[in-house]
């Protein structure tokens, strides 16, 4: 069965829209998101445009703050401080990757954790690890929501996460191994967590044997066809996070998108599988909107 992230994300946007409408009806201001983008990476531009569109649909105000690739780290830091101190902004993100001469750690660490709607600051990551209320990074939050909405339980399951990035692999593994007391506003009630998690990466030996013992495989490596049919147990659930552009002169854009999974051969064996596009990507975007509403609600409670 296909896990239809596009459809679920549309449903959640509908729910968010209702919540924003209720704010308007009560004469409250609407949440406002800032999106910082540096340079002109075409993939980043697509993602940021998708984020702006989703905000508009839901009624969240969004501002795009674009800088040329040559911006210095110091100037970008000043911009981050401005957004931290701007009372009209509830949350903001700095779209990654940044140009080589700018340290992602330096920039992300400078974001006020209360406005860190990407959940990437050390404060939010640390709070997530300790099971404290936190803002959770959009992609892991979206994957958890997708599993929850399809009623896929994780308790006692063996989950294999391929990839150890700060944005996907690490926080995903933490969320799924956690005791499920961490319930967030807007989250489904389904008990998610309590899994036995194995994290694999580029130095892992015998990935195939490890994957064959998995009930759920989450692949976030950025490598087309990394997960093939002989690595997947019959009846497993497969979540494909990878987004890879493959040249394709027959396609109007000149490329097509594929994930990290050999979808054609894996899908017949999998109980559930996400497609690319239309799987995890749209869930990432809607999770950012949920995080923005969460930051807004916490701010007005202060
Ligand atoms: P990354 O690109 O920073 O790092 C890749 C990770 O995969 C590393 O930890 C590496 O150890 C591991 N890896 C690479 N090759 C491997 C192999 N052969 N075997 C085992 N492990 C291997 O990670 P990222 O930023 O999480 O991105 C991963 C992919 O997910 C990219 O394609 C990215 O575009 C995509 N992505 C998609 C979304 C979404 O919403 N759909 C969100 C974030 C990232
Ligand atoms: N700071 N940087 C920060 N936060 C993030 O959460 C991201 N990410 C990743 C890259 N850098 C980031 C995203 O937003 C990847 N990512 C992302 C967002 C949206 C989509 C994919 C990745 C998406 O919309 N995917 C569509 C297809 C898009 C297309 O046509 O290219 C899908 O259906 O998968």
User: What ligand has the least distance to the C-alpha of 49?
Assistant: 2
Ligand 2 atom 6: residue of nearest CA: 138
Tell me: pLDDT of 176 over 90.
Answer: yes
Mean pLDDT, to the nearest integer, of 160-167? 98
User: Can you state the angle between helices 138-149 and 169-177, rounded to 10 degrees?
Assistant: 40
User: What's the confidence (pLDDT) of residue 300?
Assistant: 74
More confident residue, 95 or 302: 95
Residue 154 Cα to ligand 1 middle (Å): 22
Residue 284 Cα to ligand 2 middle (Å): 7
Q: Examine residue 1 and state whether it is found in any structural domain, yes or no.
A: no
Do 156 and 257 lie in one domain? The reply is yes
Q: Examine residue 37 and state whether it is found in any structural domain, yes or no.
A: yes
Q: Examine residue 49 and state whether it is found in any structural domain, yes or no.
A: yes
Q: Examine residue 90 and state whether it is found in any structural domain, yes or no.
A: yes
Summarize pLDDT for 63-120 with one digit per residue, the tens: 999 999 999 999 999 999 999 999 999 999 999 999 999 999 999 999 999 999 999 9
Mean pLDDT, to the nearest integer, of 119-123? 97
Do 98 and 141 lie in one domain? The reply is no
Tell me: pLDDT of 186 over 60.
Answer: no
Tell me: pLDDT of 209 over 50.
Answer: yes
Q: Examine residue 12 and state whether it is found in any structural domain, yes or no.
A: no
* Backbone region of residue 76 per phi and psi (left: phi > 0; alpha: psi in -120 to 50; beta: other values): alpha
**Cβ(193)–Cβ(182) below 8 Å:** yes
Residue 139 Cα to ligand 1 middle (Å): 12
- From the CB of 165, is ligand 1 less than 6 Å away? yes
> Cα(302)–Cα(112) distance, rounded to whole angstroms?
15
Binned at pLDDT 50, 70 and 90, residue 180 comes out as confident
Tell me: pLDDT of 190 over 50.
Answer: no
> Cα(206)–Cα(184) distance, rounded to whole angstroms?
37
In order of 4, 63, 209, 227, the CA distances from 294 in angstroms are 24, 18, 40, 35
User: What's the confidence (pLDDT) of residue 19?
Assistant: 98
> Cα(252)–Cα(186) distance, rounded to whole angstroms?
38
Residue of 248, 281, 292 best suited for mutating to test ligand 2, as the one with most atoms within 8 Å of CB: 281
Question: Average pLDDT, whole number, for the chain?
Answer: 95
H or E element, residue 145: helix 138-149
Do 89 and 174 lie in one domain? The reply is no
Q: Examine residue 17 and state whether it is found in any structural domain, yes or no.
A: no
Please list the active-site residues: 51, 95, 118
Do 142 and 81 lie in one domain? The reply is no
User: What's the confidence (pLDDT) of residue 207?
Assistant: 98
> Cα(95)–Cα(296) distance, rounded to whole angstroms?
20
Residue of 41, 222, 223, 255 best suited for mutating to test ligand 1, as the one with most atoms within 8 Å of CB: 222
Phi, psi dihedral angles at 54 (to 5 degrees):
-65, -40
Residue 281 Cα to ligand 2 middle (Å): 6
> Cα(91)–Cα(130) distance, rounded to whole angstroms?
23
Residue 123 is encoded by which pair of tokens? 């404060």
Phi, psi dihedral angles at 275 (to 5 degrees):
-85, 165
H or E element, residue 289: helix 280-301
User: What's the confidence (pLDDT) of residue 299?
Assistant: 80
User: Can you state the angle between helices 280-301 and 138-149, rounded to 10 degrees?
Assistant: 110
Residue ending a domain, choose from 112, 147, 172: 112
Do 142 and 266 lie in one domain? The reply is yes
Question: What value does the CA radius of gyration of the chain take, rounded to a whole number of Å?
Answer: 19
**Cβ(243)–Cβ(264) below 8 Å:** no
The CATH number of the domain where 77 resides is what?
Answer: 3.40.50.10860
* Backbone region of residue 206 per phi and psi (left: phi > 0; alpha: psi in -120 to 50; beta: other values): left
Tell me: pLDDT of 181 over 80.
Answer: no
Tell me: pLDDT of 189 over 50.
Answer: no
Tell me: pLDDT of 16 over 80.
Answer: yes
Q: Examine residue 99 and state whether it is found in any structural domain, yes or no.
A: yes
Mean pLDDT, to the nearest integer, of 109-138? 96
- From the CB of 287, is ligand 1 less than 6 Å away? no
Do 278 and 143 lie in one domain? The reply is yes
Mean pLDDT, to the nearest integer, of 249-261? 95
Do 106 and 164 lie in one domain? The reply is no
The CATH number of the domain where 274 resides is what?
Answer: 3.40.50.720
More confident residue, 180 or 24: 24
Do 169 and 97 lie in one domain? The reply is no
Residue 82 is encoded by which pair of tokens? 């401005």
Range of the domain at 108: 28-112
Domain total of the chain: 2
Do 171 and 235 lie in one domain? The reply is yes
User: What's the confidence (pLDDT) of residue 183?
Assistant: 52
Give the bridge partners for 198, in sequence order. 160
Q: Is the peptide bond prior to 197 cis by the omega test (within 30 degrees of 0)?
A: no
- From the CB of 204, is ligand 1 less than 6 Å away? yes
Residue of 36, 47, 139 best suited for mutating to test ligand 2, as the one with most atoms within 8 Å of CB: 47
Q: Examine residue 117 and state whether it is found in any structural domain, yes or no.
A: no
Residue 21 Cα to ligand 1 middle (Å): 37
Tell me: pLDDT of 179 over 90.
Answer: no
> Cα(182)–Cα(190) distance, rounded to whole angstroms?
11
Q: Which of 166-175, 178-187, 204-213, 265-274 has the lowest mean pLDDT?
A: 178-187
Do 189 and 62 lie in one domain? The reply is no
State percent of the chain over pLDDT 90: 93
- From the CB of 280, is ligand 1 less than 6 Å away? yes
Mean pLDDT, to the nearest integer, of 196-222? 98
Do 161 and 32 lie in one domain? The reply is no
Return the closest-CA partner of residue 35 out of 2, 7, 8, 60.
Answer: 60
Tell me: pLDDT of 242 over 80.
Answer: yes
Do 150 and 211 lie in one domain? The reply is yes
- From the CB of 221, is ligand 1 less than 6 Å away? yes
Q: Which residue in this structure is represented by tokens 């974001």? A: 111
Tell me: pLDDT of 23 over 70.
Answer: yes
Q: Count of CB atoms within 10 A of residue 110's CB?
A: 17
> Cα(21)–Cα(28) distance, rounded to whole angstroms?
10
Give the bridge partners for 217, in sequence order. 160, 238
């Amino acid at each position: 069965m296909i896990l239809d992230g596009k459809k679920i994300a549309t449903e959640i946007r509908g729910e968010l829209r209702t919540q924003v409408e209720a704010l308007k009806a009560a004469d409250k201001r609407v949440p406002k998101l800032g999106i910082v983008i540096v340079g002109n990476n075409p993939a980043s531009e697509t993602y940021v445009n998708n984020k702006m569109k989703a905000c508009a649909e839901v009624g969240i105000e969004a501002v795009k703050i674009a800088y040329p690739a040559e911006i210095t780290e110091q100037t970008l830091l000043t911009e981050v401080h401005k957004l931290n101190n701007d009372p009209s902004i509830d949350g903001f993100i700095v779209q990654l990757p940044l140009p080589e001469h700018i340290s992602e750690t330096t920039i992300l660490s400078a974001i006020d954790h209360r406005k860190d709607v990407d959940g990437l600051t050390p404060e939010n990551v640390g709070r997530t690890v300790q099971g404290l209320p936190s803002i959770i990074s959009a992609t892991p939050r979206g994957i958890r929501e997708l599993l929850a909405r399809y009623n896929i339980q994780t308790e006692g399951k063996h989950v294999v996460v391929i990839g150890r990035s700060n944005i996907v692999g690490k926080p995903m593994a933490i969320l799924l191994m956690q005791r499920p007391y961490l319930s967030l506003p807007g989250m489904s009630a389904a008990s998610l967590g309590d899994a036995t998690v194995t994290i694999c990466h580029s130095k892992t030996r015998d990935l195939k044997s490890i994957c064959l013992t998995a009930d759920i495989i989450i692949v976030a490596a950025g490598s087309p066809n990394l997960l093939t049919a002989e690595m997947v147990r019959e009846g497993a659930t497969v979540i494909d996070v990878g987004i890879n552009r493959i040249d394709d002169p027959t396609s109007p854009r000149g490329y097509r998108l594929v994930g990290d999974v050999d979808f054609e051969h894996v899908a017949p064996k999998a109980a559930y599988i996400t497609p690319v596009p239309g799987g995890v990507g749209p869930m990432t975007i809607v999770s950012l909107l949920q995080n923005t509403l969460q930051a807004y609600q916490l701010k007005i409670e202060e």
